[in-house]
Amino acid sequence: MTDNKDDKTLSVAGKKTLSLKPSGVTQGTVRQDMGRGRTKAVVVETKKTRGLTRHKDERPVAPVSAAPVARPAEPRPVQPHPAGRPAPQPQPHQPRAEQNRPRIGVVLNDLSAGEMEARRRALAEAQVRDAEEAKRRVEEEARRRVEEEARLAREKEEAARRAAEEAVRPAAVEAERVEETVEAERPVVAERRTEVRPQPVRPAPSTPPQTPAAAPAALRGRRGNEEEEERPRGGAGPVRGKVTRPEPAKPAPRAKGDEGRRQGKLTLTAAVDEDGSQRGRSLSAMRRRQEKFRRSQMQETREKISREVVLPETITIQELSQRMSERAVDVIKFLMKEGQMMKPGDLIDADLAELIAGEFGHTVKRVSESDVEEGIFNVADMEETMVSRPPIVTIMGHVDHGKTSLLDAIRHANVVAGEAGGITQHIGAYQVEQNGQKITFIDTPGHAAFTAMRARGAQATDIAVLVVAADDSVMPQTIESINHAKAANVPIIVAINKIDKPTANPQKVRTELLQHEVFVESMGGEVLDVEVSAKNQTNLDKLLEAILLQAEILDLKANPNRTAEGTVVEAELDRGRGAVATILVQKGTLTPGQIIVAGDQWGRVRALVNDKGEHVKEAGPSMPVEVLGLSGTPAAGDKFAVVENESRAREISEYRQRLAREKMVARQSGSRGSLEQMMSQLQASGLKEFPLVIKGDVQGSIEAIAGALDKLGTDEVRARIVHSGAGGITESDISLAEASNAAIIGFNVRANKQARDAAERSGIEIRYYNIIYDLVDDVKAAMSGLLSPERRETFLGNAEILEVFNITKVGKVAGCRVTEGKVERGVGVRLVRDNVVIHEGKLKTLKRFKDEVSEVQSGQECGMAFENYEDIRAGDTIECFRVEHITRTL
């Protein structure tokens, strides 16, 4: 090529002809292949005389070396689409060759003929190579086709062998599956063949006559070098295979016009999808589809597996289907056939679940959620492992009959001084020793609010000591204590206290006890009775001897060498020690470090403290101790037991907490049942509530307060306990009270500074009490204020209308005579006509003659006018009455 930009002779259009320049430079035009079917006409100049004049000895060598190298590159311009353009090119070359001959000599004529011969020879060799390459490709494709058919045959044989081994699918289904497999894979093979086949179709042999006869040697040499470089990269065949590559397939993508150069790597999917509108399915996707179809065919005939399904009390359909390894859709279909429309998340009972499992061919094992508690209570002990244990004695009786004082005298302590108001409001557990034998005492409150405490005391005891004051005889709580003891099947010992008082009458006590089926020994019964005086400590030893005698009769025994279990007597939340539970060990021995479950709480025992405040290393049967280390405060009366590990304890605790939540929800929402219950709920919707947040020192006191307040409720108003718990009043309690508009009651507890400040900001009232009677009375008075006042009507008198006067600026005025009682101005009146009340209102004016009066007595005449009512007639009766609103109390 030349870099001379002023040369304007290179042109296809126009009438100018190509000619040699005086410099002896030979010019020619060739079509340069730009790739992807594009060509461009370029001018090639070859200077022949310069090299010959300087090196005459090398003239024969130069053309020969250039010709063989350059000639293989000539077939490139001979493409199908620019085939017509090179035809006029030989015309300019031949004249130039003739013009140059006289100047170059005979040698150039011989070289041109040799060039042409070498070129023909090279083209012939290229044609032979192309034919061989095409033949080789056809053979390779045939071999690949044979291999593919062999592979399909092997797959058919493998599928047939599997079908024979399984012997469960029908032959028709297997044949259909094999046929679909072949049909599904055949398009994929055809696509693959179509994609690989385009190269063999190359129309190279027809091109030699159309190529220029005298191509410039320099151009041929350059193209020959480029093809030599491209040869190792192709790797599939000779360079001339690439030179004669057919191009008709390439213009097709260019027909879209707006599509530019193809970007990225050419893939099988992109080649098949010419317009790029959709993606094809890959071979892997086809195989997955076939495998899925094959699995679905196998599932239809798979063998049914019968399983043992564990059924709790309630279970969701989804969970049941998973346990049966069935689809939830199949279970729902079965239920729809049975006439029940249900969703996978719906709960069903164990009976329906058992029916479903039986229908699907599974066996059922029914369990209860309470099974998690199996094996922790009521473990039988061998008789040879039992040893004697101290008796557990409960002191019961009416309030102020001297129960705690009697126990103090026995223990030589002063518990009464520590109780607010001198009355017991907690259960206390103590252990004393008499003549080398230990006795465990449980002191219970006596007043009415602590019924549940007395019931718990009777259940956890061996002997009940019924304390009756000699000067007060049998009282309501005495009778209740007798009933608790009888219900628990506990023997009773009667202690007649306060015999030192002048008004004491022990015989009257014995006589009144007969009315309640308590027969003492002196009255011919079996119940032991002892006359004692706690104040003077009279006959206390006789009382202890009677207790030991009764215990000997009962022959109390327990096994100390087993895991401990017993009863929670009381529980509280101590600021320094956390949750503290007073427990009574009834079986086994409890030691620090063991894991216990008490009610819905669990924990590891950190310390054991006896009734004297001393830390002990173990607690045997019938020993009361305080336990530290629980996760929360259990309810008084809950059973406790030692479990083997934390996971079991946590499982039992969560189960019991869930039961407690369900009971609370059921209690709050009420049960949905009959129409009668719904009507009662509608009537209760007008019920006024008095919300309260109760915090107490121990769980038992809170329970007693809640029970006492619940009894105050009526059909119109009731106390609603928003929250209750053991421990001091905190900020969270204030927030809860503010949200529910409740008052806060603290029983033997106080609020911290942050809680007091929060209550002051929110305007929440906090009331402190230490005697339960005062608390109940105040709440009762506050609830009485919610009651609507009672409307009481008092009859005053009747008056008969004699005549009606129409007075200007006043209206109608009735001239009346008072026939009964009296009539007062400003009170309520009724207008009665033919024994039917026509109007009820108030008197606007009451006159006697011309003067306004406040009242008119019976037998006198007066004038009366009504407020905002004038339809009065002669003969009507006016009834006069007074309305009073009276405040109600609970």
The verdict on pTM exceeding 0.95 is no
User: Does the annotation list 500 as a binding residue?
Assistant: yes
Is 511 labeled as ligand-binding? no
381 is in an annotated binding site: no
DSSP H or E stretch at residue 65 = helix 61-70
Q: How far is CA 115 from the centre of its chain?
A: 90
> Is 704 exposed, middle or buried, given 0-12, 13-18 or 19+ CB atoms closer than 10 A?
buried
Q: How far is the CA of 481 from the CAs of 492, 678, 706, in angstroms?
A: 10, 38, 20
Q: Annotated binding residue at 400?
A: yes
Q: Locate 637 and state its tokens.
A: 């009366």
Strands 437-443 and 428-434: antiparallel
- The CA angle 710-712-714, to the nearest 5 degrees, is 100
The response to whether 588 counts as a known ligand-binding position is: no
pLDDT of residue 124: 92
Span 306-364 CATH architecture: Orthogonal Bundle (1.10)
Closest by CA position to 68, among listed 206, 215, 204: 215
Quote the pLDDT of residue 590: 93
* Per-residue pLDDT at 249: 45
Q: Are 605 and 629 in contact (CB under 8 A)?
A: yes
Count Cβ atoms below 10 Å from residue 348 Cβ, excluding itself: 21
**What single letter denotes the amino acid at residue 354?**
E
Three-state SS at 381: coil
The pLDDT, as a whole number, for residue 671 is: 41
Is 408 part of any known ligand binding site?
no
CA-based R_g, the chain, Å: 58
Q: Tell me, what's the pLDDT at 302?
A: 56
Does 885 belong to an annotated binding site?
Answer: no
Q: Hey, where are the domains in the chain? A: 306-364, 384-557, 560-669, 685-784, 788-885
- Taking the mean position of all CA atoms in its chain, how far away is CA 62? 92
- Which backbone phi and psi does 399 adopt, to 5 degrees? -65, 140
Per-residue 3-state assignment (H helix, E strand, C coil) for 333-367 = HHHHHCCCCCCCCCEEEHHHHHHHHHHCCCEEEEC
CATH 2.40.50.220 fits 788-885, yes or no: no
Annotated binding-site residue? 529: no
Confidence at residue 607, expressed as pLDDT on a 0 to 100 scale: 92
User: How far is the C-alpha of 394 from the C-alpha of 403, rounded, in Å?
Assistant: 10
Tell whether residue 730 is among the known ligand binding residues: no
- Give the model's pLDDT for residue 199: 46
Opening angle at CA 511, ends 507 and 512, nearest 5? 120
426 is in an annotated binding site: no
Can you tell me the distance from the alpha carbon of 363 to that of 324, in angstroms, rounded to the nearest whole number? 10
What's the longest Cα–Cα distance across the chain? 175
Give the CA-trace dihedral at 350, 353, 357, 358, to 10 degrees.
70
* Residue 167 confidence (pLDDT): 64
457 closest CA partner among 465, 467, 468, 469? 465
Query: Is 362 marked within a binding site?
Result: no
Q: How far apart (Å, rounded) are the C-alpha atoms in residues 445 and 682?
A: 39
Query: Which residues in the chain come in under a pLDDT of 70?
Result: 1-27, 46-111, 167-280, 298-303, 369-371, 375, 378, 413-427, 445-459, 665-686, 890
In 827-876, where do the E strands start and end?
Answer: 828-833, 836-848, 851-852, 855-857, 861-866
- On whether 638 is known to bind a ligand per the annotation, the reply is no
Q: How far is CA 269 from CA 17, 276, 309, in A?
A: 50, 9, 51
How many beta carbons lie within 10 A of that of residue 559, not counting itself? 20
Structure tokens at 572: 């509280």
To the question of whether residue 81 is assigned a binding role by annotation, the answer is no
Asked if domains 560-669 and 685-784 share a fold, the reply is no
Confidence (pLDDT) at 55? 45
| Cβ-contact 535, 559 below 8 angstroms | no
Which residue type is seen at 32?
Q
Q: How far apart are CA 588 and CA 566, in angstroms?
A: 9
Task: Given CATH 3.40.50.10050, say whether it is the number of domain 685-784.
Answer: yes
Enter the tokens of residue 18. Answer: 């190509």
The CATH code belonging to domain 384-557 is 3.40.50.300
Give me the sign of the Cα torsion angle 466, 472, 476, 477: negative
Task: Say whether 436 counts as a known binding-site residue.
Answer: no
Is residue 757 marked as binding? no
The CATH number of 560-669 is: 2.40.30.10
One-letter-per-residue 3-state SS of 269-314: HHHHCCCCCCCCCCHHHHHHHHHHHHHHHHHHCCCCCCCEEEECCE
Taken as a whole, the chain contains a residue count of: 890
Q: What is the pLDDT of residue 305?
A: 82
Asked whether 244 and 199 are in contact (CB, 8 A), the reply is no
* Region of residue 571 (phi > 0: left; psi between -120 and 50: alpha; otherwise: beta): beta
399 in a labelled binding site: yes
Distance CA 805, CA 446 (A): 75
* Closest listed residue to residue 214, CA positions, set 19, 351, 46: 46
